[in-house]
Each structure stands twice: as C-alpha cells, then as structure tokens.
Amino acid sequence: MMSLFNDEQIMKTYWKDMENTLTDKITHDKDREIAERLIKKGKMSLEDIADCVPALSFDELKEIETDVMQLAQSAKKFNITITVKAHGTVNCKLCAFFCVQKE
C-alpha cells in the first residue's frame, strides 16, 4: 500500500507540533506570572495590564485578580506573609513552601 507521507515526515510533523504546543504553554505561563505580579503591585488597572500582556484575555486577568485577592485574604486571616524568594518562580511548590512565614 502506498502512503502520501512516509513515517519520517509524520514523526517530524508530530514533534514540531508538540514543540509548538509546549512553547505556547510556556509563553502563556510566563504571561500569567507577569500579570500576577502586576496585579499584586496594585498600581495598574486591569485594562492597563491587558495592554501590557495582550496574550491574556480580560476574563483571564479577572480570574488571576480573584486568585490573588483570595490568597491575600487567606494570608491576612492566618496572619502570614507570603513572599517569593529563591529563584523567584511563583508556581514553584518548593519556593511557595519555604516562603510562607508566620508573623
């Protein structure tokens, strides 16, 4: 049986697609981290942040803002300070574990 594409072409296309998907995810995660930092600073409106990080929808920015506010409320409720240290990655579980300090 003759095929339009050989196995090598199929695998190259598959891996290129996987690479693009991973690159998009990494870029999206970095954009979310930037937006989260800007929201935490509280110096910019969501509209201004949307201009700075156009890859995120306004609804997604609202969702991030809600998450940040809930985290701040929880920190206030339990009288703890949350900081990002070590290599500075917000989503790093190890950093998050060691950076929550009770006052």
Q: Which two tokens stand for residue 70?
A: 């809930």
pLDDT at 94 over 90: no
Whose CA is closest to 39, among 25, 53, 55?
Answer: 53
Percent of the chain residues past pLDDT 90, beyond the cut: 37
Helices (H) and strands (E) in the chain, counts: 4, 2
Residues 6 or more apart from 56 whose CB is under 8 A from it? 28, 31, 32, 35, 50, 64
Single-letter amino acid code for the residue at 39 = I
Task: Give the pLDDT score at 1.
Answer: 52
Highest averaged pLDDT of the listed ranges 48-52, 80-84, 85-89: 48-52
Q: Answer yes or no: pTM beyond 0.85.
A: no
Structure tokens at 7: 């196995």
- Type of residue found at 72: A
* Inter-axis angle of helices 7-41 and 58-77, nearest 10: 50
Q: Which of the four pLDDT bands, split at 50, 70 and 90, describes residue 91?
A: low
Condensed to tens digits (0 to 9), the pLDDT of residues 5-39 reads 788 888 999 999 999 898 889 999 999 999 999 99
pLDDT at 20: 87
